[in-house]
Amino acid sequence: MDTNQTNTTKREEIDLLFILRSLKQGIAGLFNGILRLIDFSVRNIVVLAAFVLVAAGIGLGISYKMRPYYKSELSISHNRLDNYYCAIMIENLNFMIDPGSDNEALAKTLHMDKKDAKEIRQLIYKPLNTNVAKQYSDSLKVLIPFKVEAEVYSNSVLPALQKGIMDYLESNEHAQRIKEIEMKSLEKIESKIQDEVKEIDSLKQIVNQSIVTRGTGNGVVYGEAVDPVPIYNRGMLSYERLIGINTRKIMNNSFEVMVGFNASYIVSHSRQWYILMGGLAGYLAGLLFLMRKKRIS
C-alpha cells in the first residue's frame, strides 16, 4: 500500500516537473523569437521604416475622411400603431439617408433644413426594454414604448430631428384616421356630459328652492320632498368625467415623447489611433515583404 502511494507521488512529481520544464521552454522560445524579430527589424530598419511611414500617412488621410459622429436616443410611447409598423416607419427614414444626395429625401420627409438633414448619419429603431421585446417577439400587435437611436455629425441638429421624427410618425394616415374617429367619439361623449351637467344644474336650482327649514338651532332640517346630496354627488361625478374627456382630447396624439434626444456621446477614434494602426499595419506588411523576398532569394 505504501509502495503504491510512493509510486503515485513520484509520477505526480514527474508530471509537474514536465509541465514546468515545458512552460520554461515555451517562455524561452517566445523571448528568443522576440529577440530575433527585433534583430531582424534593426537590420532592415530602412525598409520597415518606409513601410511604416507610408502606412501611417494613409492612416492620417483616412482620419480626415472619417468624420467623428455622435449617438443619442429618443424614447417614444404610442397607442395606435403596432411596434412592427413603427419599426418599418423608422427603417424607411433610414433608407432615405444618402450622403450622395445630401439626404434631400430625408429633409423633405422630416421638413428639415437641408443643411441639418445632411448631418444625419443613421436612424435605428430599438426596443426600449429588450426583455419585454423578447417576450412579445412572436406577436405583431404590440404597443410598448420604443427608442430611435440617431447617429449625427453635429449635436445641433437633434432638436430639429426630434420634431421631424415626431411629426412624421404622427402624420401616419392610418393613425390619423383612428385619431379622428376617437376625437369625434370624445366630442359626442363630451356634448352628452355637458347636457347632463346643465340638467343637473337646473335640478339643483329647483331643489334649492324646494328646501324648507324646520325647527331651531344650528342645524338645517330638509323638507321631505327631495334629498339634494345625491344630486350634488352626481353633478360632481359628471364634472370629473368632463375633465377626463378634455384631458383625453388634449392628450390624443398617437405618439408622445418620453425622453427626448439628450447630450449625445462621440463615437469615433482619435487621429492618433488611425496613425498608430496605420503604422502597425505598415510594419506587418514590411515584415511579410522582407520574409517573402528572403524566401524567394
> Are 50 and 190 in the same domain?
no
Q: Residue 297: pLDDT above 70? A: no
Residue written as grid cell 440617431? 150
Is pLDDT larger for residue 145 or for residue 204?
145
Q: What is the mean pLDDT of residues 170-193?
A: 82
Rounded percentage of the chain residues whose pLDDT exceeds 90: 23
Q: What is the mean pLDDT of residues 24-43?
A: 80
Give 197-226 pLDDT, tens digit per residue.
Answer: 777 777 777 766 666 555 554 444 444 555
Measured CA to CA, the distance from residue 224 to residue 211 in angstroms comes to: 9
- Determine, yes or no, domain membership for 143: yes
Q: Residue 20: pLDDT above 80? A: no
Measured CA to CA, the distance from residue 269 to residue 68 in angstroms comes to: 8
One-letter identity of residue 159: P
> Are 166 and 267 in the same domain?
yes
One-letter identity of residue 144: I
In total, how many domains does the chain have?
Answer: 3
Using an 8 Å Cβ cutoff, are 286 and 71 in contact?
A: no
- Determine, yes or no, domain membership for 149: yes
- Determine, yes or no, domain membership for 158: yes
> Are 74 and 16 in the same domain?
no
Using an 8 Å Cβ cutoff, are 179 and 254 in contact?
A: yes
> Are 267 and 152 in the same domain?
yes
pTM score, two decimals? 0.60
Q: What are phi and psi of 127, to 5 degrees?
A: -70, 145
* Sign for the pseudo-dihedral over CA of 208, 210, 214, 216: positive
pLDDT for res 42: 85
Is pLDDT larger for residue 164 or for residue 203?
164
> Are 109 and 241 in the same domain?
no
> Are 37 and 141 in the same domain?
no
Q: What is the mean pLDDT of residues 43-72?
A: 86
Q: Which helix (H) or strand (E) holds 16?
A: helix 2-43
> Are 28 and 102 in the same domain?
no
- Determine, yes or no, domain membership for 217: no
Q: What confidence category does residue 150 fall into, taking pLDDT thresholds of 50, 70 and 90? A: very high
Of 191-200, 221-230, 237-246, the poorest mean pLDDT is in 221-230
Query: Range of 28's domain?
Result: 2-65+279-296
Is pLDDT larger for residue 253 or for residue 9?
253
> Are 55 and 100 in the same domain?
no
pLDDT for res 219: 46
Using an 8 Å Cβ cutoff, are 168 and 110 in contact?
A: yes
Q: Dmax over Cα atoms in the chain, in whole Å?
A: 129
